[in-house]
Structure 1
Amino acid sequence: MSRKLVKSGIIVSVMTLISRILGLLRDVVIASFIGASAAADVFFFANKIPNFLRRLFGEGAFAQAFVPVLAQYHEKDIEQGDENHTQTRELIAQVSGTLGVIVTVVTLIGVIGSPLLVALFGFGWFLDWFNDGEAADKFTLAAVLLKITFPYLWFITLTALAGAVLNTLGKFAVAAFTPVLLNVCIIGMAIVGQSWFSEPQFALAWGVFLGGVVQFLFQIPFLIQAGVLVKPKWAWHAPGVIKIRKLIIPALFGVSVTQINLLLDTLIASFLITGSISWLYYADRLLEFPLGLFGIGIATVILPSLARLHATKNTNEFTQTLDWGIRVISVFGWPALAGLMILAQPIIMVLFMRGEFTEFEVVQVSFALFAYLSGLLSFMFIKILAPGYYARQDTKTPVKIAIKAMAANMIFNLMLAPFLGYVGLALATSMSATLNAYLLYHGLKTNNVYQLSKQTKVFIIKIMMSSALMAAIVYWLSPSFNVWLQLTVLEQLIKLIYCIVAGVVTYFISILILGVRFKDFKVTS
């Protein structure tokens, strides 16, 4: 079990790394074309709404409810020696048909009602449009762009369904690689579309649409190869669908809490100065690199594994698998936090400071990134701890916790935004994530499901000490902000690589001296 879990984790992380690198390249292209302008604010807004719903219908709430049930059906087929996986295939047909109909209706409503969605989540722009104010053009443009980006929801939802099926069957690489195609499409449309569209944000919007189509088509051959490409059918009252429905309703609330918080941030940011939405976006993208690479990557592997362990009532290994996830997250998360804190501005310079993206944007984005980074480990721990509930088909408890975190986030927003602006929004998000992570862990501990082992506590202390030493070395090697600005792009890149390599070497030498070994990442039966 240990080797299989580690191997799967490595596969997902490598594929995710490729996707994140291309994602950064995509953001470099976007920053060069539209910077943090009004057009950038509008494009990021139009992309955020379908992505919010994707989290609900796609890899978010749906996956958390679907994967444990699918794992149960798959285990039954194995126990009964059914090589055709009859029950598994039937469940996939029923779920794909039912989900397909629902998401089709939602997509049509979204495309037709795009102005209403913009009015709801970009209320500041709507007021300006209504009163013929300065931001009136933002409202009009957002409504048009949303009609282009919203169909992405349909394609990515069914792509996420296919990915969940393949992950449950132990084929993690395909689903982990698929997001690469979205980045390729957006980059391609941004470059090629310059000659097709007078405004670059339209090329980017069509890149999102095309990315959804390509990702959906890419999964199909692998479903055929696995023997699970079946004809969808509507089955609202089928036992498996009913079970998923019962699990997904609270999970919808749980996942939507985080997404609602992000949309509330966007709503409040629409009242702030132009650039606020873009600054938050670029900072969030840099945060998403370590979070997606390590947090989401490990969580992707853990959920199907925990679901199988729960189905076979292997409580000992269930606990050890959660402990393994915390250790893996810690060994990468803490140094990522320390390194980004020290090198935030140089990284933003090297990645984004060209074209429409100026020195001013570098400083503004770095402030938001510092605020987000204060919650990086909390975001990661949530990705590991929440599957401890979903794998046991307990979707209600995380919802209750998430609602508390959402309420806290709203309070934090109201407390901080008037004084800190968009930075207050980022800081409020981090504070509520920390509360969420604490309550998730407290719930698992209280119910005797999971508690940090003594070995893991000692392990985390060693990791924190090594990360602090690494941060000190990198801070000593890194020149001041003004010196960074005076360097050429090539000189900045060389200096940045030098600092990163020195930090990585320092960190790994330090953890080895402190006694961290590969055996610390084993899951023993």
Structure 2
Amino acid sequence: MSKMLKSSGAMGAATLLSRLLGMVREMVYARFMGDGLVASAFFYAFQIPNLFRRLLGEGALTAAFIPMFKEKEMQEGEKAMWYVANATVSALIIACSIAVTLIIIFSTAMIEGVNLGLKTQLFFGLLRIMAPYVLMVCVAAVLMGILNARGHFFIPALGATMLNVVMIAAVFLIAPRFGTHLEDKIYGLAVGILIAGVAQTLFQFPLLFKEGFRLRWVNPWKNETVHKLMVRILPGIVGVAAFQLNIILTNAIAFGEAPHVVASFNYAVRLMELPQGIFGVSLATFMLPMLSGLAAEKKYGEFQSGLRQGMGYLIYANWIATTMTFVMATPIIRLLFEGNEFNVDSTARASLALKCLIPGLVAFSLVNIIARAFFALGDVKTPMRIAVFSLSCNLIFAFFLIPAYQQAGMGIANALSSMVNLGLIFYAIRRKFPNMKVKEMIQPTLTVLGSGILAAFLAWALWKWIVSMIETPSVWTQLTEVFVPLILGTGFYAILTYWSGVPAARDIWKLLKQKLDRN
């Protein structure tokens, strides 16, 4: 318990800093370009390199690579381990370079050979500039995976901080050099993303060098472990490719609707990713090497206990984030984003998208953890098959809901498909481990659910009361109407769950008490 909470807590601290800077970036972006046509074109174009990052740099590749990396270290020593790491990075550079070249060629052909509207021309123009980001961010993701496998979580998570710092600086230092109109300045933002990708990649190298890694070209085609890795990740690549295609098609549907839909939904996603990243992604990232080690040693009892415990912590942390965000969506978005290009209507659109998306937060995060358990066992096929089915459901939901409900339809489709995914993957892990003692989770989970709803109702009532007392709105009144209900509501939740004996609440309190006693 202590090690899991401390490691995910250390990584969570770095992730919190990164996510907070990411939120500052989104605040700057919102005021810079609002949620109109230019913003939607930019966010949609930026999704393409991000999708390749998940296809080649994260997901199936890192999930399959970390267990094999650990296994190589245990069986053949560090020299063989670093050789495999270089072979994997070399293979990734080849794959990403091909992808970048194809994106640039296709984007150029579309711009020069087809009569496009402003929105579509902007999309392909931005995509062409941002294409090399694929290479940098994919390599950075694998380097972070290597450091995670070596027991380093804080510094790799901090790498994303560099990314956000450069992206924020690009709005003020690079974008104005490209012109006076937003349609011109947006290209400066795309250039800033390339510089940010370089910064994030280089940030990993000092610690890697200290660990003993030396970047060298290794012919991946002659490496047996790389061949094994490719065979193992192939089902995962198919699953992730289905996921990426699903996102592209879903956003294509949205991009063809009103100009604001993609941008409004993007702001909602960024807000949801704050709680998801602080604890959910941090915990899942820590659990993969931990579960991989237990699986390699065939300690399946501890494996199941660790998975069950991790799920409990995640439900506890993310359920209160779900309920609080749902009732406080409008004041949160008004405080963070409203101003300049982002107006009152923009706030209403983004808050509606957030309310429809946030009910899927716990499901999104639980799927991430359970999928890591399968990856640690060397089973990539099961979670990816389930993902393909769930994403097919998402596409069907999106096809019917987006034309009718726009950004709200995108949120509902994503939340529903994540719940389908959770139901199926949970059923699959239960079949693999029939004696996982899931019944022990029922009572604490019900207590957490009830406590979260009560805390959210308290926060909502406080918010309404504070708003009724405000005569002259200002930044300070906005801060008050957001933070007072959130702090008091979350405090009420913590006390109620601790008093009710929820294990996650007790464990977190013990860890905090130990730190306070030490100081």
CA contact (8 A) 1:254 1:403 kept: yes
* Counterpart position of 1:396: 381
Q: CA deviation at 1:108?
A: 1.8
The alignment status of 1:100 with 2:93, answered yes or no, reads yes
* Counterpart position of 2:516: none
CA contact (8 A) 1:118 1:142 kept: no
- Deviation digits for residues 390-440 of structure 1 (CA, Å, limit 9, x no counterpart): 111111111211111122112212232232223212211111111111110
The alignment status of 1:197 with 2:178, answered yes or no, reads yes
Matches of 1:336 and 1:485, distance apart in 2: 29
Matches of 1:434 and 1:17, distance apart in 2: 26
Letter in 1 for 2:393: A
Deviates more, 1:230-239 or 1:214-223: 230-239
Give runs of aligned pairs for residues 321-470 of structure 1, distance below 5 A: 321-448=306-433, 451=436, 453-470=438-455
Give runs of aligned pairs for residues 59-208 of structure 1, distance below 5 A: 59-77=58-76, 82=77, 85-115=78-108, 130=115, 136-198=117-179, 199-208=184-193
Match of 1:288 among 252, 266, 273: 273
Letter in 2 for 1:209: L
Match of 2:263 among 261, 278, 291: 278
Letter in 1 for 2:473: L
Distance 1:42 1:240, change over 3 A: same
* Counterpart position of 1:320: 305
Structure 1 unaligned spans of 5+? 120-125
Residue correspondences, number: 504
CA contact (8 A) 1:95 1:232 kept: no
Distance 1:42 1:392, change over 3 A: same
The alignment status of 1:233 with 2:235, answered yes or no, reads no
CA contact (8 A) 2:254 2:402 kept: no
Q: CA deviation at 1:333?
A: 0.7
Letter in 1 for 2:102: I
Distance 1:449 1:118, change over 3 A: farther
* Counterpart position of 2:515: none
CA contact (8 A) 1:310 1:391 kept: yes
* Counterpart position of 1:123: none
- Deviation digits for residues 245-283 of structure 1 (CA, Å, limit 9, x no counterpart): 012111112233333322222100121011111011111
Q: CA deviation at 1:17?
A: 0.4
- Deviation digits for residues 350-383 of structure 1 (CA, Å, limit 9, x no counterpart): 0000000011011111111111112111101111
Q: CA deviation at 1:117?
A: 7.9
* Counterpart position of 1:306: 291
Give runs of aligned pairs for residues 508-523 of structure 1, distance below 5 A: 508-517=494-503, 520=507
Letter in 2 for 1:511: T
Letter in 1 for 2:143: A
Letter in 1 for 2:83: E
Matches of 2:506 and 2:440, distance apart in 1: 12
Letter in 2 for 1:233: V
Letter in 2 for 1:111: I
* Counterpart position of 1:506: 492
- Deviation digits for residues 280-305 of structure 1 (CA, Å, limit 9, x no counterpart): 11111111111111211111001111
Letter in 1 for 2:420: L
- Deviation digits for residues 191-212 of structure 1 (CA, Å, limit 9, x no counterpart): 1124312133122211211110
Matches of 1:260 and 1:48, distance apart in 2: 11
CA contact (8 A) 2:162 2:196 kept: yes
CA contact (8 A) 2:253 2:399 kept: no
Distance 1:485 1:90, change over 3 A: farther
Provide the TM-score with structure 1 as the length reference.
0.91
* Counterpart position of 1:122: none
Deviates more, 1:259-268 or 1:229-238: 229-238
Distance 1:118 1:348, change over 3 A: farther
Q: CA deviation at 1:237?
A: 4.0
Letter in 2 for 1:184: V
Matches of 1:117 and 1:55, distance apart in 2: 25
Q: CA deviation at 1:466?
A: 1.5
Matches of 1:509 and 1:262, distance apart in 2: 40
CA contact (8 A) 1:374 1:430 kept: yes
Could you say what the CA RMSD is over the residues aligned between the two structures, in angstroms? 2.2
Matches of 1:481 and 1:511, distance apart in 2: 26
Give runs of aligned pairs for residues 257-272 of structure 1, distance below 5 A: 257-272=242-257
Letter in 2 for 1:109: L
Secondary structure of residue in 2 paired with 1:196: helix
CA contact (8 A) 2:60 2:237 kept: yes
Matches of 2:390 and 2:466, distance apart in 1: 36
CA contact (8 A) 1:110 1:117 kept: no
CA contact (8 A) 1:64 1:251 kept: no
Q: CA deviation at 1:457?
A: 1.9
Q: Percent identity?
A: 29
Secondary structure of residue in 2 paired with 1:229: coil
Deviates more, 1:250-259 or 1:320-329: 250-259
Q: CA deviation at 1:501?
A: 1.2
CA contact (8 A) 1:319 1:449 kept: no
Matches of 1:59 and 1:338, distance apart in 2: 29
Matches of 2:507 and 2:343, distance apart in 1: 45
Deviates more, 1:419-428 or 1:295-304: 419-428
Q: CA deviation at 1:4?
A: 2.7
CA contact (8 A) 2:73 2:81 kept: yes
Q: CA deviation at 1:490?
A: 2.1
CA contact (8 A) 1:272 1:422 kept: no
